[in-house]
Every structure is written in structure tokens, then in C-alpha cells.
Amino acid sequence: MRFYDIEIELEELDEEEMEADGKSTARSTMIRGKLNEEIANAVCKECTSIDSKIGNKGYFFMYGYIARILNMGLIAVGDIDAYELVETFVKKSKFKVSKTTIEETSYLTMYYDMLQGAEHKQPARMIMRRYGICDLENRKGFISVSSDRLEFNDMIAAKYKKDEVYSAIADYYSAENLVEELDRIYEGCDYDGNYGHPVHYIIETDDDKMRDRVAEALVQALLGAGRVKNQRYSTVKLEPDMRLDVVRCEGLYSLAKGGTVVLDFCKSAQDEEGSVSYAKYTYIEDLGRIIRRNCLDVQTIICLPMDSKRIKERLYESTPRCTYVEIREGLADVAQAIKYLKKRAKEHRIRTDKALLSCVKEGHTYLMPELNEFFDIWYAAKLKTTVYKQYKDMSEAKAYVKKRAAEGEGFAELESMIGLEKVKKLVQNAVDSCKAEHILKDKGLPEDTEGERGSLSRAPRGSRA
């Protein structure tokens, strides 16, 4: 199912024709308003005519007309060519059009921003239910169930050419099997017009950037190869201990027909064997049934944390008819790690130095999160010492705190000793004297050079250090 936001810009109306009876501005405004109303009525009439022809395959409507701009919407349930439909509409309506823009949009935009303002007599909720879509309620993208909720977000994948997709994932060399799978996707199939999903995907990584980019690259490749029809894909956050609303989750999959759902399992506590625990994900069986029922119409990409062996086993058990391609975060060797750090530095337009590259040790291998942490710490320091040099001194704050702590350790140790009261008093007097000198200096007053500083070298009579 696809949702389209369509903008049709009409040519400028002829002012001379509008004011043929005179030069009255009021008359011109009245005529313009009448024309606007006539255009809106004509559009609604033509939309009704088109809807009657396409039937349950889609819904075409107008939701706004301001300053020569027609705002139209299309819900494409069946195999509808949005461009062809709009071209037919323009020809039949006989409007003089200067520009047409057609873009795929999200469910939330369609439901709340477009259908709510549409020129029709049915409520938006009824229109969506007409196509078997249950109401997903909240504008923020939450499917609510009492105190629990299923968070989802609609994304629109950019249309990339094949070489652009490969280029975009060049940094993610550590994603094992990714390039090989992209090659398989772009091979296509031997039968024209075939539609369905031979495999689904599991991405295992603890790196958020890698997870999002790899998922998007898969959607872009599948879109380019014709394996999915929708640019729109829904990302669903799955928290431990949440209660899954099966009906609304099915509704989300109904929205995604012809497209993709990304199921993002948030990391939970590890079990006693070090593997991410699946005990809290009590809804895996229900989720598996939904994936299984929609496996031919909806492409599913499952994102798991590293060490999720038990969760993965339960998913396999719950979806016996599904085949998965696993794309797992691998380890980068020294050469790959250095190349990645240099690439990140280049993106930030700054040169690498020994401090950054020395983080990579010979004979070691690295995960992507480790390399990102190396770079982030280094770059944060570079911002203060190289990019914004006026903050250079502030970069020494941590070292200053450590130094002050070290300087105070001796006095603290002395204070903790039993006895030595006279010595403690002498030291405290010296400290107070130093503080007084700093205060006098700050106020521009003459310093007391004699003061108590000499008292350490002149112990009182009868005292023994």
C-alpha cells in the first residue's frame, strides 16, 4: 500500500479576462473567489469519477486549493500507477497545468495532514477502514494498548541507483554478507511481473548507525530491483516486557503490503550465559505468526543486538516457513580500522593525527562501535584544540582536576593520622596563608610576604616535629 502527496500548480489566471467589465479590484477579487470555488467543485467531481472507476484499488481526493496550487492525495491499494492517474485527471479536468509533483508520503502524514482536510463527506477513519486498515490512533506513531505501546516510525527511502547504494555502504565493510546479498538482489529474477519475498533479513549489530544504514540500503536495493513497491517502510521498536497488541500490529503489516517492516529489538539484560535474554520478549511467538502470515506481501527486516542467539532461535521456531539472510557485524582488521577513521575525519574536514591512529593497535580487531568511540573522543578534543582554538585552555580542565586532586592527597593523608595536632595546625596555617595571598593578589592589594609561610621552618619552642 502506497500513500502519495500530489501537488498540481495551475497556470496564472488571465487578469484581463477576469476584469473584462472594468478595473474594479473588488470585482476582481469576487470573480477570483468564484473561480476558485468552481475549480474546487470541478476537482471534487472529477475525483469522484476516478474513484468510481478504480474502486477498491485506491482512493483519490483533494485536500486543499490555495494560490493556484491543488493539493491532492492518493491511497494506492492495488497496482495503480500514480503518474498515469494524475495525467488522466489533468486531461479530463482540462486545467492548464504548469507543474506537477508526486511524492510518496507516510501513513501519519496521509491520515492526519491530508485525509483530515479532504473534500469528502466520510471521516478519515472510515476511509482507512474501507481498505481494511485499522486506526493506529496516535499522531506520534504509537499504537496504544492500555499503558503499553508499540512505537513505530514511517521512513521514506531515497531512490538510489545501484552504484549509489554500494557507495553508501562502503564504510560498513564489517557487515558480513551485505555486499553478497546486494549482488543477489540486483540479479533480479527470470520471470517478469513476479512478486513476492524469497527471503527476509536479520541484522545483528550493536551500532545504531550501522543498523539504520544497512536496513535502508536493503530497502533501496529491493526497491531498485522491483522486489518491493513502496519507498515507505515502517520501523518498529520492540521493548522487553511490552505487551504486543496483535490486532494493531496486524494493521501495521496491512499498511506495509508491497513494502517493508523493520523490527528493531532493543537490547535487554543478558542471561547467565552472556547471551541477550529472550525471556522478557514473551510476544515473539505472536510476532512470528504475523510475520509468517504476511511473508509474501511484506518484506521483514529484523534488527537484533549482538549475542542474541536465543532470541534468534525463537524467531526461527516461530517462522518455520521463512528463510532468513543473516547480516552480522564483523570485525575490522588494522588496515580497515585506519581507513574507517580516516574516512570519518575526512567527512568532518579535519586531518587525522598520531593521537587518533595510535588507538588502533597491531594484531587487534575492532567492532564498529569501538572505532566510533575512538573517533568521537578524539574529535571532541580536536574541536577545542584545533577547530575552536579559543577553547584550548578548557581542554585542560580534566588534567587540572586530576592535578589538584593529587596535590590534596598529602594533606588529606596527614589529616587522617592520629595525633600530630601541632603539625596539622602548622600545615593548616600555611594553607590559610596561601589562600589569603591569592585573595590579596586578586584584589590588587600588596601580598604579605612574611606571613605564616615561614612558620613551617620556625617551629615553636618546645615543639618536636
Q: What is the pLDDT of residues 368-393, one digit of tens each?
A: 778 888 999 999 989 988 888 888 77
Residue 143 has pLDDT above 50, yes or no: no
Which of 19-33, 155-169, 233-247, 303-317 is predicted least confidently? 19-33
Fold of the domain spanning 2-130: Alpha-Beta Plaits (3.30.70)
Cβ contact 104:230 at 8 Å? yes
Q: Which residue has the cell 485499522?
A: 134
The mean pLDDT of the chain is 76
Q: Report CA dihedral (166, 170, 174, 180) to the nearest 10 degrees.
A: 20
pLDDT the model gives residue 465: 40
Residue 258 has pLDDT above 80, yes or no: yes
pLDDT the model gives residue 167: 84
Q: What is the pLDDT of residues 152-169, one digit of tens each?
A: 788 899 888 999 998 888
Cβ contact 428:421 at 8 Å? no
Distances (CA, A) of 46 to 36, 96, 98, 428: 15, 15, 19, 92
- CA angle (418, 423, 424) in 5-degree steps: 65
Question: CA-CA distance, 189 to 385, in Å (whole number)?
Answer: 55
Q: What are phi and psi of 308, to 5 degrees?
A: -110, 40
Question: CA-CA distance, 416 to 316, in Å (whole number)?
Answer: 62
**CATH class name, domain 142-329:** alpha beta
Which of 86-95, 278-287, 412-421 is predicted least confidently? 412-421
Residue 110 has pLDDT above 60, yes or no: yes
